[in-house]
Amino acid sequence: MNDLRMRERPILDLHIHIGPELLSRRYTIETLAGEAHREFFGFVAKNHFQPTTAWAARISHRYRVPIMGSIALNKGVGGINPEAVRAALSGFKTDPLQTERGKGRFIVWMPTIHAEAHLVHNRRRDIVSEWGCSIEYQRIYPEGEGLTVLDQKNRNRINNETREVLKIIATEDLILATGHLSSGEVELLVKEALDIGVKRIIVTHPFYQATNMPLEKQMELSQLQGVFIELAYVNLKFDKIPIESYVELIRATGPNSVILSTDLGQPSCEPVGLGWKHFFKLLSEKGVSENELARMAIENPHHLAIEDI
């Protein structure tokens, strides 16, 4: 990481968890921003239960690194619905007197902890006590009550609510992230999003077992304009995904279609700055070059999130 920190632009981590939320978190937006300033990395703040756009907008001008917000379309914000995205837009202001929303982008995550695929993987539980939550706040949802982007009558098409959300993302030039959807859902979603005019898409940690996307499908999607495959550091530890799977994808697609993130913020894990050092070391030991690391951790995330604003 020391060599990468000498570059002109900071690492841009598009996936870091902050609190407060029902899960215990290492960071608030302020404490994460302080570390990011010291360690020279930018970030997108993620929360499974509420938008972070207002939190990020309120402090972003104080720091020398990019600080961005997001919204995850879980049950806490009404699920997949355009009003939730409008609510995130409403907080995207550095000055509450502004009549226009702030300049820039944020990430709109499709459902994560309330996605049907996530609930199937986690035995119908939304949050898991091992992740750092009190057992009384864990919810168990009956089969079929999870969120999906698929139409109930035709599982081969995207539902109307999702299409309305995609239209806002396209109009506002926001970033779509696929969340914890199943592999089949992700494939349909990405192609529908591109048809609607979404220009910036992250396939969220597709090796995670809730998504479990085959390498060949990841390769296929990575060839589409504006689509990036996310490889998250935390999945190596929490989900026992082998680092060799990441390297295989990088070699198969090339680094231009991949972004690295940490997905950190858990109190049981190391701080983000240290996580990046560990992540780079693991990849370097498998033959990933410094230039490739810079492409995936700096150039691609900046291109996706910041350029052309």
**What is the per-residue pLDDT across 23-53, written as a single tens digit (0 to 9) for each?**
999 999 999 999 999 999 999 999 999 999 9
- pLDDT average, residue stretch 190-198: 98
Q: Tell me what pLDDT residue 74 has.
A: 98
The span from the CA of 284 to the CA of 242, in Å, is 14
**What is the per-residue pLDDT across 206-215, written as a single tens digit (0 to 9) for each?**
999 999 999 9
Is pLDDT above 80 for 2? no
- DSSP H helices, 148-271, are 160-172, 183-196, 215-222, 234-238, 243-253
**What is the per-residue pLDDT across 100-127, written as a single tens digit (0 to 9) for each?**
888 889 999 999 999 999 999 999 999 9
More confidently predicted of 134 and 149: 149
* Confidence grade of residue 5 (pLDDT, cut at 50, 70, 90): low
**What is the per-residue pLDDT across 61-104, written as a single tens digit (0 to 9) for each?**
999 999 999 999 999 999 999 999 999 999 888 888 888 888 88
Burial class (CB within 10 angstroms; exposed 0-12, middle 13-18, buried 19+) of 303: middle
Structure tokens given for 50: 């509420």
Q: By 3-state DSSP, what share of the chain in percent is helix, strand and coil, each rounded to 5?
A: 45, 15, 45
Is pLDDT above 60 for 144? yes
| Lowest mean pLDDT, pick from 4-18, 166-180, 211-225 | 4-18
Q: Tell me what pLDDT residue 98 has.
A: 86
The span from the CA of 242 to the CA of 235, in Å, is 9
Structural domains of the chain, with CATH: 2-305 (3.20.20.140)
Average pLDDT, the chain: 94
**What is the per-residue pLDDT across 256-276, written as a single tens digit (0 to 9) for each?**
999 999 999 999 999 999 999
Radius of gyration of the chain (CA): 18
The span from the CA of 33 to the CA of 22, in Å, is 21
Amino acid at 31: T
Is pLDDT above 70 for 3? no
Residue 292 near residue 52, CB atoms below 8 Å? no
Burial class (CB within 10 angstroms; exposed 0-12, middle 13-18, buried 19+) of 8: exposed
Name the nearest CA neighbour of 206 among 187, 226, 188, 225: 187
Which secondary-structure segment (H or E) carries 276?
helix 272-285
Residue 112 near residue 179, CB atoms below 8 Å? yes
Q: Tell me what pLDDT residue 229 has.
A: 98
Half-sphere exposure in the Cβ direction for 147 (13 Å, CA): 24
Q: Tell me what pLDDT residue 112 has.
A: 98
* Confidence grade of residue 173 (pLDDT, cut at 50, 70, 90): very high
Is pLDDT above 90 for 19? yes
